[in-house]
Amino acid sequence: MSQLKCVIGVDVGTGSARAALVTSTGQLLKSCVKATQTWNPLPDHYEQSSDNIWSAVCECVRTVAAVVPKEQIKGIGFDATCSLVALDKGGQPLSVSSTGRAEQNIILWMDHRAQAEADLINATKHELLNYVGGSVSLEMEMPKLMWLKKNRQLTWSNAGAFFDLPDFLTYKATGSSSRSICSAVCKWNYDAMKSSWSVEFLDKIGLSELAENGFHLIGEKLNSPGDQIANGLSQEAAALMGLLPGTAVATSMIDAHAGALALLGCRNPDSQLADTLTSKLAIICGTSSCHMSLTEGPVMAPGIWGPYKNAIIPNLYLNEAGQSATGVLMDFILQTHPCYAELLQEHGSNGKIYAVLNDVLRELTDRKGLQSVHRLTTTLHVWPDFHGNRSPLADPNLKGMICGLTMNKTVENLALIYLALMQALAYGTRHILDVLARSGREPIRSILLCGGLSKNPLFVQTHADICSTPVLLPHEAEAVLLGSAMMGACAAGIYTDLKTAAAEMAGPAEIVKPDLSDENRDYHERKYRVFLRMVGDQRAYQQIMNE
């Protein structure tokens, strides 16, 4: 290993911190994960601790760094969820919580407390909203900052800095308060077209204080993802992580965007078309799902965030869509079914139960003599917005719907509901693709998947069949960690830019081809019409009840 050049990728997700030691060619040598704490003190309030997260990050990095001599570790990259971190004027945690506890100083990305504030921002019809699909999400940072100003006046008056969580990690690693364009443009309404914060926008939404002292509270200096920060790793952070002071530290990315970087760099040996950067859709499937695609020019699509200039690759535009609940929704449907306790006792984990359900569906398909497993849900339909719709309807008030339930409590019944939900999630992806196409985006020729759901073969095949598009599965499954490592390699000068780092480190992918038969496409076309009708019916019901 003495000749190896290595980098470290750090990923902070919703429930854990992870680190991986990766070679400069993209081989993952060792990884480590440590759980982090989340509080839910009130409905729709989800909070975390920056101290708890930083401690977990340092422990994970120490563990993976011990594999090789420190001198071989040339750089480190960070990604994290787009959660809001509040620090006081001394750089210490500042409470965002109804409990008043300073430890609870992060509003988690999935927190939905700021609906009224998001509505107020959207009512302004400001031109910056054109770059978030026409409306901000309550999961973005400006609504949360408005909520803090209104409801936590002491926090607001004592604030010394507000960070997106990825930027907080690089701040702790280097002491530099620089921010990433990735977080700023995607979650903070930074104007990437003009390369500046909008004083007029901040004034219009009642946050003019954020413009004071050169935007000190939200970021005076912004860098592109992968750019080296200041003098690298600080003495204090190096000691905590088991690394050398001065180790190159990369400007950060949001976690899903780091995954998209690694996915979009993947190669499909069967097709040169799939290797065109702008012909791919990357889907990062975790608790929620993010759908990312890059274009040469700006594409404005209603209900879809972006176009974000320079958010991942310089001079390319990012469109970002998503589903607010995917993996967590599948677990919810599983765990609330009457037969769940029995299945868990017998098989021990949700992952093993899903494998059993896949087997049950295959057996049912064979027993009924059907050509495709999808034909099992002719009378069962799901609208999957149990936690609101992120894209392309941008309506957090939508609810989940299931049509076709019976009093059946069997494992077969659970398997059918599970299949109908998987189909609904794939119809949701098709809905996003349709809106992008109607908005002038060039055709998507391949879908790349990573995350927990990408390990479920039925989920993958369902996406391929419903979207009529090949799905690529990277040979390296840890795409998000790999994306962070790519940033570390870029900061260390191993590669000249992120595009090159992605091409050299991402590696090949396995291809899952869609069923393009007329029978399959006709069936899913009809199911998709039902899917769209369901949301129309839900809104009609709301209108009746609001009369």
In this predicted structure, the answer to whether residue 273 has a pLDDT above a threshold of 60 is no
* pTM, 2 dp: 0.87
Query: Residue range 224-252: average pLDDT?
Result: 97
For 490, the enclosing helix (H) or strand (E) is: helix 479-491
**Does residue 457 have a cis peptide bond before it, meaning omega lies within 30 degrees of 0?**
no
The pLDDT of residue 500 is 93
pLDDT at 274: 47
Name all domains of the chain by residue range, CATH numbers in brackets.
6-255 (3.30.420.40), 327-431+516-546 (1.20.58.2240)
3-state secondary structure 117-172: HHHHHHHCCCHHHHHECCCCCCCCHHHHHHHHHHHCHHHHHHEEEEEEHHHHHHHH
Does residue 423 have a pLDDT over 60?
yes
Over the stretch 503-534, which tens digit does the pLDDT of each residue have? Answer: 999 988 999 999 999 999 999 999 999 999 99
What is the pLDDT, as a whole number, of residue 287? 86
Q: Quote the tokens at residue 219.
A: 């970021």
| pLDDT of residue 14 exceeding 80 | yes
Instruction: Note the helical H segments in 224-349.
Output: 235-241, 255-264, 327-335, 340-347
CA-to-CA dists, residue 547 to 401, 522, 528, angstroms: 22, 38, 29
Position 1 scores a pLDDT of 43
441 pLDDT above the threshold of 80? yes
330-344 average pLDDT score:
97
Residue with the bigger pLDDT between 49 and 137: it is 49
Q: Which helix (H) or strand (E) holds 426?
A: helix 411-438
Strand blocks (E) in 24-146 = 28-35, 47-48, 73-80, 84-88, 106-107
Q: Is the pLDDT of residue 99 over 50?
A: yes
Find the Cα–Cα–Cα–Cα dihedral 141, 143, 148, 149, rounded to 10°: 120
Q: Is the dihedral of CA 221, 227, 230, 233 positive or negative?
A: positive
Q: What residues have CB less than 8 Å from 253, skipping those under 6 apart?
A: 77, 79, 166, 180, 182, 183, 225, 261, 312, 483, 484, 487
Q: Pick from 337, 268, 80, 267: which is nearest to 183 by CA?
A: 80
Over residues 363-404, the pLDDT tens digits come to: 999 999 999 999 999 999 999 999 999 999 989 899 999 999
For the chain, percent of residues with pLDDT exceeding 90: 92
What pLDDT is stored for residue 134 in this prediction?
85
Task: Share the mean pLDDT of the chain.
Answer: 95
* Rounded Cα–Cα distance for residues 309 and 317 (Å): 4
pLDDT in tens, 446-474: 999 998 899 999 999 999 999 999 999 99
The mean pLDDT value for 243-272 works out to 89
What's the confidence (pLDDT) of residue 133? Answer: 82
| pLDDT of residue 298 exceeding 80 | yes
Average pLDDT (337-358) is: 97
- Assign residue 16 a region (left: φ > 0; alpha: ψ between -120 and 50; beta: otherwise): beta
- Determine contact, residues 317/298, Cβ cutoff 8 Å: yes
Report the pLDDT value the prediction gives residue 272, as an integer from 0 to 100: 54
Residue 515's nearest CA partner among 442, 460, 473 is 460
Q: What are phi and psi of 283, to 5 degrees?
A: -120, 120
